[in-house]
Structure 1
């Protein structure tokens, strides 16, 4: 587990190091602090995360052995998901599973880092939350889906644009993402999410309803049945286990709800503090949009236990990277520096604690880490 502990600590170290360098060389005319937008830094961290993913043992991750078996027995068939099928064909042709792993994770890392480069005010902070929010480690299992997720994450600028041609471009991105995972069809729902930040009058009642609904299994099962009716390909795919995929198969309790409530509190506070600063290099449209997506993601926890919803949440959860990157940048530039640092410290304390607990519980079966085929 050591590699998982060292990874965020090293990123944190470089964040503080970059801050020290920026402060020493800071131009007096500049209004921003804590800006790390070094392309070499982005490249080096992409290589580190790529190597860890590509060369992990086949036993690292609950789903990873399945992908290896598809390769060994040549049993993967992709009618719609021709992108993954083509990568498998290439690996089988050269009889090397590392080719499959390298191609899949290169796409995943490339699109995530491209999105960070284009949209994030601070590369290192975004990479830190990429790790702490478990988005990176989700890719240790849901390989196909995470390629689709990373593509939608990367090109979100098209979605929030006011130009019709950009909307069409995002539709093309969704269609390309479908080549890697059918669930990308859910991304059409993103077009209906407002680019104007939800008000607290909407968010707070939604959060309260989420907490109450979390403890009503019958409601979840009714919604599960509704999902069956509107998602034909998932209903077909899991026809043999509808109860386990669309109904409550892993009921969660207070322990699982607690971190959700804390995230709700963090987001609610962010509606009032820190204040918007026009001079900062922040895409406020994307910040507002990301805030709304994170709100929806947290509300979906009311249906926790329905695996189909868990799969959908992956598309929303990745926007935590943007949300916390923007929020951190605002806090570090807040006029109320003391309160900004306290709030930021509490955010980091929560995510580091949550990250460690997930490792201890061994979510997704990624512990222990083994190198190559060990």
Structure 2
């Protein structure tokens, strides 16, 4: 837990620096100091990611085995095969971790810089919600998602053009070379074009709760998901695991969803009287769909799709704090929630990232 405690301390530090930057004019000397701290912290994260034990992360050992038995040649997409072929020359699997970290962390940092109101706040939330839980487990998807996260700069602004949409589609295609499911990101171009009625946001918690605790909606979604040819082929050896409910989730797991939903309602009640910008509309819809997908929680295929909506967490709370920059209680509530949520998930051993160990 020692390594994760260091992560938490630095996330709180960066978060509050971002809060102060929202409220006050910060001297450039302080910004430079925090930038230096950020560089050292990035090296620390690099060290954790690259030199973690094969037991850290649900898929880490599998990717190591693929390297030695050459099964990656028939299992994976073009970009992943290329990474394996690059590291074949060194015969050292460490380079796989290095390349994966550089792709995920690099594209995500550029995304934060391009897409967010406040880099420091969004960076803290990226670490607490995305980096460990995604890149240590859904290895290929995390690289695809980070590329899409970066690409969103071309579709969220008020001034989008045909050229920007072409750039976005090209980047989505590149993401599919890491994980073919990234094609789902094409639907994101619609998120800033649809304004959902405020009542839908307010009352959808009833639908989410019903879906979360019952099997009815999950039984309805089964024939839809199972009809997707790619997933059918890939998981033909074990369709029950991928298409049917395979995870039991109770009330304790539902509490964080409810809290996140309350933050969304706070934003809707305070801001829907005014005209939202295209970016605000995009972010609100993006985050709403992320929460809505909990209606089908427990189905592996839906959980995999939901991963593409995880960046909405970073988008939403960055926007919420920007719109409510003078609300100190809100700022405290958000960081307390995400630190507690991060800590509990770590201690529960979610995704196999605890206990954290280094390779000998």
Structure 1 residues 138 and 129, CA gap change in structure 2 (3 angstroms): same
Cα separation, 2, equivalents of 1:18 and 1:265: 23
- The counterpart of 1:76, out of the listed 52, 61, 72, is 72
Deviation at 1:24, TM superposition (A): 8.2
Matched, 1:246 2:243: yes
Q: Where does 1:1-374 land on structure 2 (aligned, <5 Å)?
A: 1-16=1-16, 26=26, 43-77=39-73, 81-161=77-157, 162-195=160-193, 198-229=196-227, 231-273=228-270, 284-332=277-325, 334=326, 340-371=327-358, 373-374=359-360
Shift of 1:10: 1.8
SS at match of 1:268: helix
CA drift at 1:367 = 0.7
Deviation at 1:222, TM superposition (A): 2.5
**Paired residues, number:** 356
Q: RMSD of aligned C-alpha atoms?
A: 2.8
Tell me how far 1:365 sits from its aligned partner: 0.5
- Write out the 4+ residue segments of structure 1 that deviate beyond 4 Å after TM superposition: 17-27, 34-45, 274-278
Deviations 1:248-267 (A, max 9, x none): 11131211111111111111
* TM-score of the aligned structures, taking structure 2 as reference length: 0.90
SS in 2 for 1:240: coil
Q: Is the 8 A contact 1:135 1:318 kept in 2?
A: no
Contact 2:280–2:319 (Cα < 8 Å) also in 1: yes
Answer yes or no: is the 8 Å Cα contact 2:202–2:265 preserved in 1: yes
Contact 1:134 1:355 in 2 (8 A): no
Q: Deviations over 1:49-76 (max 9, x none)?
A: 2232112111111111101111122221
Q: CA deviation at 1:46?
A: 3.6
Alpha-carbon distance between aligned partners in 2 of 1:98 and 1:39, rounded to the nearest angstrom? 27
CA distance in 1, matches of 2:330, 2:24: 25
**What TM-score do the two structures reach when normalised by structure 1?**
0.87
Aligned pair in 2 of structure 1 residues 57, 223: CA closer, same or farther (>3 Å)?
same
Q: Deviations over 1:125-163 (max 9, x none)?
A: 111101222444310011111110000101102123520
Q: Is the 8 A contact 1:112 1:150 kept in 2?
A: yes
